[in-house]
Structure 1
Amino acid sequence: MTKLFALVLPLALLAAAPARTASFPCEKAETPDEKAICAHLPLNDMDVEMATRFAILKDVLPMGGQTKLRDDQETWLKERHACGADIACLRGLYETRLKVLRGVLSEFAKQGPQ
C-alpha cells in the first residue's frame, strides 16, 4: 500500500498544482528545444508531467527496469534536442513519451503493493 500511495500522491499533486516551470531552470535554457519548452505553456506542462512520471518510475521500478528507463530517457532527450524549436516535433515527442510512461506507471500500479 505504501508504494501505491507514493506512486499516486505526486500525480495527484501534479494534477492539482497550477502550471509550473519546466523540469529544468528556464532562466538557464540554452538550446532551442529548451527555449521553446519554456516559451510554450503546453510543452512546459508536458515537460513537468514527463519529469514527474520519470522520477516516480525511477524510484519504484526494479533495477533492470530503472536502467532501461534511464537509457530510453537519454535517447528521448537526444531526439528532443534534434527537434530544435519545432513545436510540432516537440509536442509529438512529448505525447509519445508520455504515453509510454503512463503505460508503464499504469502496469506497475496494477501489480499492487509488493
Structure 2
Amino acid sequence: MKKTEHEMLVLAAKAAGIRIDPIDAAHEPKDWAAWNPLADDGDALGLAVKLRLTVMVWSDGECASAAKTTPDGVPPSVAGGWQAESTRANGGLASATRRAIVQAAAEIGESMS
C-alpha cells in the first residue's frame, strides 16, 4: 500500500530516532518547517547518513534509489540485502533523490514496529 507523505515522514523520523511533536505530526508535511527531508536537502542527507543508506542517482531520467547499506558496506543490490526504493518525481532529480531517501527510511521505520 502506498504511503502518504505524512506517513513516510513519521516512519522516517521513527527510524532515525527523531522525536516528532504530536502537534506537528497532525499537520501536513508542508507545515513541518523544522524537519522535512522531502523538501530540505540537508535533512535528507542527514537522514541518509544517520541510517547508513546507499544512495544512487541514475544517469538517465529523473530517478534515484536509496537502500539500507549492509553491515560490510556493500550496496544491497550486490549483497542481496534491502531492495532499493526508487522514484520518479516531477520536481527534478533533487526531489527524486530526497523522496527515495525518505521512502527507504520509512521502510526501516515500518520494520521497527
Q: TM-score, normalised by structure 1?
A: 0.37
Say which one has the larger Rg. Answer: 1
Greater strand proportion? 2
